[in-house]
């Protein structure tokens, strides 16, 4: 059920978009209303989640690390794994966000027949994650050509690098296959015994959704070829808040399925695990300097309690302590 429900939910969404695109009267709903609603939900949901995390109190430094903390001068500090300065934290975050460093250093443990434990490298997840995320990023940047006119030079340069093989017509893009392959690997990985046990429908649904977006995009580009000029007119009409209804009638059902799935992903994004995209920058286990030995971090919401010294305590209970034959610092 954990797999079947998300799978058939995505199929149902595709069917809804297909049936809706078949009616000219509903194309305004799928081509104008839903994209605007998705944009509003995405922006407000994203901001709400970020502000919720930003308001969460973090009084103590709790970075997760296996490196040596800054200590005595003769003890070498691990400045990347256990940074004690803002610059070190920025370096650690950059390696984490751009290169998935902690995932690259991941290991796997296997129990041998004789009961011994063997540790080995586990780089496939890192490679699949890198391919998936960077392909997704490049695909999003390539789609920027539909939003502006003329097309920015960086988009043209990106497309030239992405399609440098110069095969097929239209040009075959590496990131299209990279996105599809990366999402497929991340999905198949969850079918393994260990990962399947802890996977939930919320883990499968976005993967099925992203796979469907990638497949419909590839289908629309290479098989069911759509009128690119009309698609750009539709999107630029949305950007300028002046929907082009004539262009909307000229594009086929595949486009509306594709854009509907993108809208569903955008609305789902702020309320799902996909928010690690923004959450990693607010994670106290990553964005704090490990300087507990240098600076005393006091909990800001500690109650204002009057603290008594031992000297005051002894002065108050001196007589009772004498009767109990307890030692006193002052006679």
Alpha carbons 137 and 127: distance in angstroms, whole number: 15
Q: Which residue has the tokens 């050509």?
A: 145
Asked whether residue 329 is assigned to any structural domain, the reply reads no
Confirm whether pTM is higher than 0.95.
no
Average pLDDT over residues 11-19: 93
Residue 255's domain spans which residues?
Answer: 4-323
Domains held by the chain: number: 1
Q: How many CB atoms lie within 10 A of CB 135?
A: 23
Asked whether residue 330 is assigned to any structural domain, the reply reads no
Predicted local confidence at residue 94, as pLDDT: 92
pLDDT tens sequence across 164-210 = 877 767 788 899 999 999 999 999 988 876 788 888 999 999 999 99
Asked whether residue 241 is assigned to any structural domain, the reply reads yes
Q: Which residue has the tokens 């009409």?
A: 237
pLDDT tens sequence across 282-329 = 888 888 888 888 887 777 777 777 778 888 888 888 888 888 888 887
Asked whether residue 331 is assigned to any structural domain, the reply reads no
Average pLDDT over residues 47-59: 86
Asked whether residue 251 is assigned to any structural domain, the reply reads yes
Q: What is the CA radius of gyration of the chain?
A: 28
């Amino acid at each position: 059920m954990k797999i079947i429900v998300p799978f058939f939910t995505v199929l149902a969404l595709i069917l809804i978009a297909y049936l809706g695109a078949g009616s000219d009267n509903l194309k305004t709903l799928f081509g104008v209303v839903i994209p605007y609603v998705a944009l509003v939900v995405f922006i407000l949901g994203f901001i709400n989640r970020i502000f919720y995390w930003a308001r969460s109190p973090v009084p103590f430094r709790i970075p997760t690390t296996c490196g040596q903390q800054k200590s005595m001068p003769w003890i070498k500090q691990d400045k990347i794994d256990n940074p004690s300065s803002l610059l070190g934290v920025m370096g650690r975050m950059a390696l984490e966000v751009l290169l998935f460093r902690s995932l690259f250093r991941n290991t796997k443990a296997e129990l041998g027949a004789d009961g011994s434990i063997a540790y080995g490298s586990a780089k496939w997840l890192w490679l699949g994650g890198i391919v998936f995320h960077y392909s997704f990023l490049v695909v999003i940047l390539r789609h920027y050509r539909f939003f502006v006119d003329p097309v920015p030079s960086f988009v043209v340069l990106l497309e030239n690098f992405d399609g440098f093989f110069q095969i097929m017509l239209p040009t075959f893009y590496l990131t299209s296959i990279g996105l599809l392959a990366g999402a497929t690997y991340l999905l198949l990985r969850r079918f393994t015994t260990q990962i399947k046990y802890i996977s939930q429908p919320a883990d499968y649904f976005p993967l099925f959704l992203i796979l469907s977006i990638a497949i419909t995009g590839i289908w629309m580009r290479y098989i069911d070829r759509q009128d690119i000029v009309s698609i750009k007119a539709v999107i630029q009409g949305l950007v300028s808040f002046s929907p082009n209804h004539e262009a909307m009638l000229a594009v086929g059902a595949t486009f509306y399925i594709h854009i509907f799935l993108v809208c569903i992903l955008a609305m789902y994004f702020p309320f799902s695990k996909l928010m690690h995209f923004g959450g990693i920058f607010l994670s106290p286990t990553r964005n704090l300097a490990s300087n507990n030995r240098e600076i005393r971090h006091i909990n800001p919401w500690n109650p204002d309690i009057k603290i008594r010294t031992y000297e005051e305590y002894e002065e108050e209970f001196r007589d009772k302590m004498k009767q109990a034959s307890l030692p006193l610092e002052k006679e």
